[in-house]
Amino acid sequence: MSVIMHTLHVDLGERSYPVYIGRDLLADGEVLARHLGGSEVAIVSNETVAPLYVAKVRGALGEGRRVTEIVLPDGEQYKTLHSLEHILERLLQERHSRSTTIIAVGGGVVGDVAGFAAACYQRGVGFIQVPTTLLAQVDSSVGGKTAVNHPLGKNMIGAFYQPRAVLIDIDSLHTLPARELSAGLAEVIKYGLICDPAFYAWLQEAMPRLLAREESALAEAIERSCSLKAAVVAADEREGGLRAILNLGHTFGHAIETAQGYGAWLHGEAVAVGMLLALRLSVARGWVDAAEIPVLEALLRQAQLPLEIPAGMTPEVFLDLMGRDKKVVDGCLRLVLLRGIGEACVVADATTAELDTLLQDAVARAKSRC
Ligand code: NAD
Ligand code: GLY
């Protein structure tokens, strides 16, 4: 039987929507029905998640609806314009009207591409996020960022497009591979670092229970993460300022993902290493006590996340890829740093020399740990 454990609200005026967190929500037809625009539905998933969960969602939709299932290949390398085109083509072939609701069932890749398709199809149709990875449950399903990658840069083509609802079913995490759970924990740790020192402290104690997928610990981590994200998004939906803090570690992380080839490093793994680099830079600036470095290292290690940059990545590669980041404005690289644990800030004054020193040091550390 489905149980709603928490209902949060993303407060965006007429684009406001609920985030339900609970158990067996995939089978909850009543909750889904509240957010459908009409009788036409397209479920977008991938070939790994579809056999696990799409039948459940389809069953929850009940009789009397026209449902199209669109199954993408699995992987970050398929977060492309080609996949977007495939979704749009299927919607056209099946003659879906503007009252269609697209339901994304899967991780952040499926959610990001399906959301972009919802934003584009007939200039915008209804969209519901049913995230099935921890990363998607605590981050990508909330906030309305949709996108596809381009060989020249990650998430470079997309739209802000809010879902009508987010249904987070904690039970779906039981089938998630351990490496993917860890990748999601990187984004959970991010919230503590940027804006909630008490949550950061709680994570240090709760990490074994989270890795063991204890329901109450997962529910608490997801609720806390989504609440923090909802507050930031409500204050700055289109990233005019504050929302950039959600990208702690992401500028370094996106460079790692792009350099390694999409899919080789998981997004959360790259973000973990990126957060450590951002903390090291904050320490070098004298903003954070150096004692915080081993604390974060221990937490990332506990969460089974990498600490070092990939072998072979040079400062030159980092600087080139970081220079193409979306956070470059008027030729000026913006980085999220910490003024303290729980206190993120965005800086636009990082010099090439400063970054080169940080990255040379990272290369040396990676070599010494090989
Ligand atoms: P993902 O979507 O690739 O999913 C990870 C893997 O887990 C895939 O192989 C998937 O098939 C599998 N999977 C998903 N749910 C499963 C389940 N319940 N059981 C078994 N296997 C399951 O990766 P992700 O980490 O969820 O998302 C990463 C993507 O999200 C990146 O493209 C990143 O850029 C994006 N992202 C977007 C935002 C945003 O605000 N829109 C925020 C953070 C990340
Ligand atoms: N994950 C960053 C954001 O949603 O803004």
Rounded to the nearest angstrom, the distance between the alpha carbon of 140 and the centre of ligand 2 is 7
Rounded Cα gap, residues 129 and 19, in angstroms: 9
The residues near 320 (Cβ < 8 Å, ≥ 6 apart) are: none
Contact at 8 Å (CB) between 220 and 205?
Answer: no
Query: Which tokens go with 275?
Result: 């957060």
For ligand 1, say whether the CB of 76 is within 6 Å of any of its atoms: yes
For ligand 1, atom 4, name the residue with the nearest CA.
Answer: 107
Look up the CATH architecture of domain 178-369. Answer: Up-down Bundle (1.20)
Atom of ligand 1 nearest to the CA of 52: 19
Atom of ligand 1 nearest to the CA of 74: 11
DSSP string, 11-53: --GGG-EEEEEEESGGG-HHHHHTT--SSEEEEEEETTTIIII
Rounded Cα gap, residues 190 and 116, in angstroms: 25
Active site residues: 123, 145, 187, 229, 239, 243, 247, 250, 254, 267
User: pTM to 2 decimals?
Assistant: 0.96
Provide the pLDDT for residue 96: 98
Provide the pLDDT for residue 162: 98
Rounded to the nearest angstrom, the distance between the alpha carbon of 18 and the centre of ligand 2 is 18
Atom of ligand 2 nearest to the CA of 239: 5
Contact at 8 Å (CB) between 160 and 27?
Answer: no
Three-class SS of residue 299? helix
Q: Which residue has the tokens 């020193």?
A: 357
For ligand 1, atom 2, name the residue with the nearest CA.
Answer: 107
Query: Which tokens go with 317?
Result: 């590669």
For ligand 2, atom 3, name the residue with the nearest CA.
Answer: 246
For ligand 2, say whether the CB of 232 is within 6 Å of any of its atoms: no
Average pLDDT in the 86-110 region?
98
Contact at 8 Å (CB) between 84 and 120?
Answer: yes
What letter does residue 321 receive in the DSSP assignment? H
Average pLDDT in the 87-96 region?
98
Rounded to the nearest angstrom, the distance between the alpha carbon of 72 and the centre of ligand 1 is 13
For ligand 2, say whether the CB of 136 is within 6 Å of any of its atoms: no
Rounded to the nearest angstrom, the distance between the alpha carbon of 232 and the centre of ligand 2 is 9
For ligand 1, say whether the CB of 172 is within 6 Å of any of its atoms: yes
Provide the pLDDT for residue 328: 66
Rounded Cα gap, residues 28 and 141, in angstroms: 18
For ligand 2, atom 2, name the residue with the nearest CA.
Answer: 246
For ligand 2, say whether the CB of 162 is within 6 Å of any of its atoms: no
Atom of ligand 1 nearest to the CA of 266: 25
Rounded to the nearest angstrom, the distance between the alpha carbon of 17 and the centre of ligand 2 is 17
Give the residue extent of every domain in the chain.
Answer: 3-175, 178-369
Provide the pLDDT for residue 100: 98
Provide the pLDDT for residue 152: 81
Q: Report the 10 Å Cβ neighbour count for 30.
A: 9
Number of alpha carbons in the 13 Å side-chain half-sphere of residue 232: 24
Query: Which tokens go with 361?
Result: 């040091």
Q: Which fold has domain 3-175?
A: Rossmann fold (3.40.50)
170 phi and psi angles, rounded to 5 deg: -60, -30
Q: Work out the pLDDT band at 261, boundaries 50, 70, 90.
A: confident
Average pLDDT in the 50-56 region?
98
Ligand nearest 240 Cα, by number? 2
Rounded to the nearest angstrom, the distance between the alpha carbon of 336 and the centre of ligand 2 is 12
For ligand 2, say whether the CB of 143 is within 6 Å of any of its atoms: yes
Q: Please determine, for residue 212, whether its predicted confidence score (pLDDT) is greater than 80.
A: yes
Average pLDDT in the 313-328 region?
86
Q: Please determine, for residue 332, whether its predicted confidence score (pLDDT) is greater than 90.
A: no
Atom of ligand 2 nearest to the CA of 187: 1
